[in-house]
Structure 1
């Protein structure tokens, strides 16, 4: 009889893990506290972006974060709190904001993101999932010389890592995107980046897993773990007890709450992001990030998504209208003829991204539990890294040769 694996978390990380584990012949159960139709896996910008090689914990970010702390409409808003977990995370985040860390992290981020692109295409083809996979690249649109210099330098760095990217002028932007007015002096154009429509991939992947007899328990919360000799024997939910041989922790921003029960102190903070959809024809065909505003714009299947902000203010899913308005204002500043309606803004949604202090995810086993594999902490790169993470999880549990070196992602790493 094949081994039983329980995956805790039904977002893109959990589903990707379930997919590759099922392919290895395991009996897989996915359990999630929600109905599995909302959250970060559904409201993200849809980018598969090897270009995002600079981690959130980059030089100068902490200084900006302190400045932005007093502006609730800022791209990064960190709400100060006298909580031990938050203070430990903040200390570790600050320590990671240095050039040495960026040099170590960038190649690692690039490798897992490039592998994920390949695996998204493989899954989509194998399972006949049409998720509007598009390979038009990504603009980093700039309105100031300072921002343009920064983004072009990142493009050159990406070139050295083997990624296709270049500087484009305002005239070249117009040639590539002729059907919409864009207010930018230039951009870095990352041809290496692709994009999808997230809910379509999620819907297709869930259907494929159900057809492969993966068991799903939704609206069910894990409340306790039965542990013996550094191994989990079973999990207790608010409805039942489930036994298994192996467990995967892919519960996003909630992962650290469960890991604490095992004595594993994952430094994680929930980073809230927002999205606003417009079903009107905007004329936008190439995804763009508005460099100064940190807002992402993605043409998806039948609509355009405007997304952004990083709000580190604990686990809550309240919609902050100030931040939604900031996204709308930024969009109009760069795309003068694109104006989000009140109805569109009122239908805004949010998702919580699990943010580690160093911008790298936690993938692997902790020495404190020998049958738990962790897959969490991907921050804004969750969609870009998910399929590769799922494959790595299956390789770890199957004790197979790993597709990538996972030492930089070790759950027990020191900060």
Structure 2
């Protein structure tokens, strides 16, 4: 076991999603006892309903010029992939103003730099979990991007060129629809790009398998425990839920879109808001060979339990708001002409979840102002892709007391 005299023996992790459970698993690698708590249970949030992409080629800061241009055009349009409801919410509008201020190429290039080493290492962290007993496999496959008009290819190519300029290798192959070997692409698709070196997974099953591994190695997972407050008392960390108290050496807050309410009292000033995504599952006539991306309508599709999971939209509402069926209908309308052999009438598993978004597009990973209290969140759409590596690096920081170089740009006290 690596560490020092201050190495914690027991850590409470709030949040039983990909980030929280990965942190717990890698802490166990250092011999630390872990207790994972969650208000709902394992993989109850975005770790269940996301598209399942393990895609370092797409793991980039969300604020960038095209998002701002698109957002201004589609603002308040209920059918648009990016939607902000028209209501009086000063905190939301202040957040969006800060987000918009980062939607320029200078900020994007600066924010992209710390993503590069994370993206280069993130799949290795999945391999470490698999080698250590996490049973749900990751599956290697290119992501096939389909375009209704050939001229639309240029936008995605430009994005990949910028990523390469930042120092990250992205392998992109031109393809025809026939060569792509994806029977779900309809006759409306004129052009195809294949993004090589990516993977996908059944996200819910992967996170549940991760939880089973944590428990098999002696960890405790408790559902129905809503963290109300974190305090430091007599050199120990106290986590409260109602009248119940858990005492440990340290705590990690990995509560996704709900992070800010707990982290702000600990000195974390950067806000986290819910950029809610929707998904559903539909049967297909033929097996789906790999992930499909429809950039023009911002829809991501993945092989899922013998069918196709279809995911999309970015909706800024409370993470606890209800599911709005019109958002599901909008995704279906946009994807339907571009896909074939899909039984849309047999749609199931309608879902909405809050992806944790920061105004500068950078996650919050590391120590807070309170001794023994850490946060891990704000990954936006890439919590699954970067979750295991986040847990691996943060566990190293907790155990050794030294901040890994990769985490410095993600300092939650920035």
In the alignment, which residue of structure 1 is the partner of 2:146?
Answer: 141
Give the counterpart of 1:277 among 253, 268, 281: 281
Give the counterpart of 1:202 among 207, 228, 233: 207
**Aligned partners of 1:107, 1:359: CA distance in 2, in Å?**
12
In the alignment, which residue of structure 2 is the partner of 1:391?
Answer: 392
Q: Are 1:235 and 2:239 matched, yes or no?
A: yes
Q: 1:232 to 1:76 in 2, by over 3 A?
A: farther
Q: Are 1:154 and 2:159 matched, yes or no?
A: yes
Gaps of 5+ in 2: 1-6
In the alignment, which residue of structure 2 is the partner of 1:116?
Answer: 122
Give the total of aligned pairs: 406
Which runs of structure 1 show a deviation greater than 4 angstroms over 4 or more consecutive aligned residues? 400-404
Gaps of 5+ in 1: none
In the alignment, which residue of structure 2 is the partner of 1:344?
Answer: 347
**Aligned partners of 2:182, 2:193: CA distance in 1, in Å?**
17
**Aligned partners of 2:150, 2:180: CA distance in 1, in Å?**
21
**Aligned partners of 2:298, 2:23: CA distance in 1, in Å?**
30
Q: Provide the TM-score with structure 1 as the length reference.
A: 0.91
SS of 2:57 mapped into structure 1: coil
In the alignment, which residue of structure 2 is the partner of 1:412?
Answer: 413
Most deviating of 106-115 and 46-55: 106-115
Most deviating of 246-255 and 184-193: 184-193
Given that 2:281 and 2:304 are in contact with CA atoms closer than 8 Å, whether structure 1 keeps it comes out as no
Most deviating of 190-199 and 104-113: 104-113
SS of 2:370 mapped into structure 1: coil
In the alignment, which residue of structure 1 is the partner of 2:4?
Answer: none
In the TM superposition, what is the alpha-carbon distance from 1:104 to its structure 2 partner?
2.0
Given that 2:278 and 2:313 are in contact with CA atoms closer than 8 Å, whether structure 1 keeps it comes out as yes
Q: Equivalent residues in 2 for 1:5-404 (5 A)?
A: 5-131=11-137, 133-160=138-165, 161-169=167-175, 171=176, 173-182=177-186, 183-227=188-232, 233-238=237-242, 240-341=244-345, 343-345=346-348, 347-366=349-368, 368-399=369-400, 404=405
**Aligned partners of 2:173, 2:284: CA distance in 1, in Å?**
30
Deviations 1:118-162 (A, max 9, x none): 11122113205133x221111222223443111112233444534
Most deviating of 401-410 and 255-264: 401-410
Most deviating of 219-228 and 308-317: 219-228
Cα RMSD after superposing both structures: 2.2
Given that 1:167 and 1:186 are in contact with CA atoms closer than 8 Å, whether structure 2 keeps it comes out as no
